[in-house]
Chains A and B, each alone.
Chain A
Amino acid sequence: MPEASRVDSFCLSDFDQSIGNHLENAVELSGNPVNNSLKVSSQTISPGPVHLGTSDRLPISVDRSSFMYLEDRLSLLAQKVQSTNHIIIPSGDTENQEGSAMADASPRTDISTDADTDDKNQRFDGSQSLAAVASDSSDRSKDKTDQKTLRRLAQNREAARKSRLRKKAYVQQLESSRLKLTQLEQELQRARQQGIFISSSGDQAHSMSGNGAMQFDVEYARWLEEQNRQINELRAAVNSHASDTELRMIIDGILAHYDDIFRLKGVAAKADVFHLLSGMWKTPAERCFLWLGGFRSSELLKLLVNQLEPLTEQQLVGITNLQQSSQQAEDALSQGMEALQQSLAETLSSGSLGSSGSSGNVANYMGQMAMAMGKLGTLEGFIRQADNLRQQTLQQMHRILTTRQSARALLAIHDYFSRLRALSSLWLARPRD
């Protein structure tokens, strides 16, 4: 097959030429350790079946015998390199140090991560291996030099690999830091927006959720400020023995102001009923006594009875009845809430793992969710009636008492809650170990 042999000799002569070139290079290289072109990809010289890196550049029809010859030489070389690697001991000899120093100091180490450079290196490697093979079979003196070269190559490869890993880790760290920075910026922005609310409502800010809750907290803070002002006015009037007319005027203002907060709570209940129910808009100590989003009228009246003496017989009966009525209403509403809870629990726990088809289960689930949603919607009604009870109780109390007694009652109520709020502040500021 003349064609084949012609091709064959053509290929081999190509190799011969390249081998010759690289032999010279090998000699040069051994004397000069600092040479960046010694970058080799770790995959070219590896134990096991050696992949001829230049195979894609060979003419397609390579004679089988020559190919096998090349394969033999390459596998021999691979074995040699493997055994050589074991011999390399970090004993402080110059080659080793130079190898690692090169990897650290040279910025071009990182460039070797490019695929292009790798390809070029591969091509170079293929010839390099062949060059090593050629030199191996010839000169003994060159053998030692080439061993050093191989060792250096291996070290360089290792250094380059480590360098690439370090770079990768560094980049990853940068990325995650950048992400964290963006998150922190967003948090800061959010905190700044809430900043004005934080200053007026003390410790309650962090639990806000949504516009309705935040807005109510702001309105409540404002309401408290106004109430403080009115109460101070009332106290001054009482202490200065103002007339009943004057007192009545201030008292009416305070009662109307109470109507304001109940109205605001009604709006807030529509927007975020759970915020009201949570009591997070009140101070911790007040929260302790929370019932359906506010205070218990019956408890308040119990506290007041002692402070309102002297009471007429009629007044005493009236206040006692009022206390009882509010207690009964509170109990009724509490029972309704319990029924709601139970109903909700039943709705959510009714088994859907029956033998019906999957579409039946989905319809079941959605139906249950719809029912549960409906039940949650009734919570607003309960808060509304609880506030209604509080409002009615205050007004009824005012009707039973004289003007002066009403004034004292309102002062007493305010002082009580004021002390609860002060207690909360003390509690929050207490020293902890």
Chain B
Amino acid sequence: MDRVKDLASKKAAVIFTKSSCCMCHSITQLFYELGASPAVHELDNDPYGRQMEWALRSLGCNPSVPAVFIGGKFVGSSKDVISLHVDGSLKQLLMDAKAIWF
């Protein structure tokens, strides 16, 4: 969990993924489309990957990836991100965290 929190705080937009996960690819692409440059961490390529996945699940993230953090705060999985994007909240969060400017 420490490692998760640590990595999440390092950048305005942070996404935890797995290299094999295509939904993670979707969410990451959305962030790029919005002009954000998220830090992407692949759990399957991280030595502490398993513990990190466990930590993400304990935060309520199901499935565990993609797990999105904005401004160091846990936002949610793909379902949450899409919902937030549709009602305009996602953009606002990104702007507030200085991940994007417009």
Restricting to B7-42, which residues have a CB under 8 Å from any CB of A?
Answer: 20-23, 25-27, 29-30, 33-34
The reply to whether A378 and B83 form a contact with Cβ atoms under 8 Å apart is no
A-B interface contact total, Cβ < 8 Å: 69
The reply to whether B86 and A392 form a contact with Cβ atoms under 8 Å apart is yes
Closest to B87 in A: A396
**For chain A, what secondary structure do more than half of its interface residues adopt (helix, strand, loop), or is it mixed?**
helix
Residue count of chain B within 8 Å CB distance of chain A: 20
Q: Mark A369-389, 1 if CB is under 8 A from B, else 0.
A: 000001100100110110011
- Asked whether B57 is an interface residue with its Cβ less than 8 Å from the other chain, the reply is no
- Asked whether A332 is an interface residue with its Cβ less than 8 Å from the other chain, the reply is yes
Partner of A329, one of B20, B63, B85: B85
Query: In the complex, which of the residues B26, B33, B78, B83 has the most CB atoms of chain A within 10 Å of its own CB atom?
Result: B26
Instruction: For residue A194, give the distance in angstroms from its CB to the closest CB of chain B.
Output: 35
Q: State in angstroms the CA–CA spacing of A389 and B78 once bound together.
A: 11
Partner of A382, one of B20, B23, B33, B87: B23
Contacts of A389 in B (CB 8 A): 82, 86
- Asked whether B73 is an interface residue with its Cβ less than 8 Å from the other chain, the reply is no
Partner of A333, one of B21, B26, B63: B26
The reply to whether B86 and A325 form a contact with Cβ atoms under 8 Å apart is yes
Given known contacts A328-B33, A328-B34, A332-B33, is B22 in contact with A378 (CB within 8 Å)? yes
The reply to whether A332 and B26 form a contact with Cβ atoms under 8 Å apart is yes
Q: State in angstroms the CA–CA spacing of A402 and B20 once bound together.
A: 44
Interface size class of A (residues with CB under 8 A): 20 to 34
- Asked whether B47 is an interface residue with its Cβ less than 8 Å from the other chain, the reply is no
Closest to B78 in A: A385
The reply to whether A329 and B30 form a contact with Cβ atoms under 8 Å apart is yes
- Asked whether A367 is an interface residue with its Cβ less than 8 Å from the other chain, the reply is no
The reply to whether B30 and A332 form a contact with Cβ atoms under 8 Å apart is yes
Partner of A343, one of B20, B27, B83: B20
Restricting to A22-68, which residues have a CB under 8 Å from any CB of B?
Answer: none
Q: State in angstroms the CA–CA spacing of A384 and B77 once bound together.
A: 13
Instruction: For residue B57, give the distance in angstroms from its CB to the closest CB of chain A.
Output: 16
Q: State in angstroms the CA–CA spacing of A378 and B30 once bound together.
A: 18
The reply to whether B88 and A378 form a contact with Cβ atoms under 8 Å apart is no
- Asked whether A322 is an interface residue with its Cβ less than 8 Å from the other chain, the reply is yes
Given known contacts A328-B34, A343-B20, is B82 in contact with A392 (CB within 8 Å)? yes
- Asked whether A336 is an interface residue with its Cβ less than 8 Å from the other chain, the reply is yes
Instruction: For residue B99, give the distance in angstroms from its CB to the closest CB of chain A.
Output: 15
Instruction: For residue A176, give the distance in angstroms from its CB to the closest CB of chain B.
Output: 50
Given known contacts A385-B82, A389-B82, A392-B82, is B27 in contact with A332 (CB within 8 Å)? yes
- Asked whether B50 is an interface residue with its Cβ less than 8 Å from the other chain, the reply is no
- Asked whether B3 is an interface residue with its Cβ less than 8 Å from the other chain, the reply is no
The reply to whether B33 and A385 form a contact with Cβ atoms under 8 Å apart is no
**For chain B, what secondary structure do more than half of its interface residues adopt (helix, strand, loop), or is it mixed?**
helix
- Asked whether A339 is an interface residue with its Cβ less than 8 Å from the other chain, the reply is yes
The reply to whether B23 and A336 form a contact with Cβ atoms under 8 Å apart is yes
Instruction: For residue A121, give the distance in angstroms from its CB to the closest CB of chain B.
Output: 78
- Asked whether A283 is an interface residue with its Cβ less than 8 Å from the other chain, the reply is no
Q: Mark A344-383, 1 if CB is under 8 A from B, else 0.
A: 0000000000000000000000000000001100100110
Query: In the complex, which of the residues A322, A333, A382 has the most CB atoms of chain B within 10 Å of its own CB atom?
Result: A333
The reply to whether B86 and A326 form a contact with Cβ atoms under 8 Å apart is yes
Q: State in angstroms the CA–CA spacing of A383 and B31 once bound together.
A: 20
The reply to whether A336 and B29 form a contact with Cβ atoms under 8 Å apart is yes
- Asked whether A305 is an interface residue with its Cβ less than 8 Å from the other chain, the reply is no
Contacts of A392 in B (CB 8 A): 82-83, 86-87
Q: State in angstroms the CA–CA spacing of A371 and B45 once bound together.
A: 18
The reply to whether B86 and A396 form a contact with Cβ atoms under 8 Å apart is yes
Partner of A393, one of B25, B27, B86: B86
Contacts of B87 in A (CB 8 A): 392, 396, 399
Partner of B23, one of A321, A326, A331, A381: A381
Chain B interface residues (CB < 8 Å from chain A): 20-23, 25-27, 29-30, 33-34, 63, 78-79, 82-83, 85-88
Q: What are 30 inter-chain pairs, A to B, with CB distance below 8 A?
A: A321-B88, A322-B86, A325-B85, A325-B86, A325-B88, A326-B86, A328-B34, A328-B85, A329-B82, A329-B85, A329-B86, A331-B29, A331-B33, A332-B30, A335-B29, A336-B23, A337-B22, A339-B22, A339-B25, A343-B22, A378-B21, A378-B22, A381-B78, A385-B78, A385-B82, A388-B79, A392-B82, A392-B86, A392-B87, A396-B86
Given A325-B88, A375-B20, A382-B23, 16 extra CB contacts under 8 A: A325-B85, A326-B86, A328-B85, A329-B85, A331-B33, A332-B26, A332-B27, A335-B25, A336-B25, A384-B79, A392-B82, A392-B86, A392-B87, A393-B86, A396-B87, A399-B87
Closest 6 CB pairs of A and B: A336-B26, A332-B30, A392-B86, A340-B22, A339-B25, A332-B26
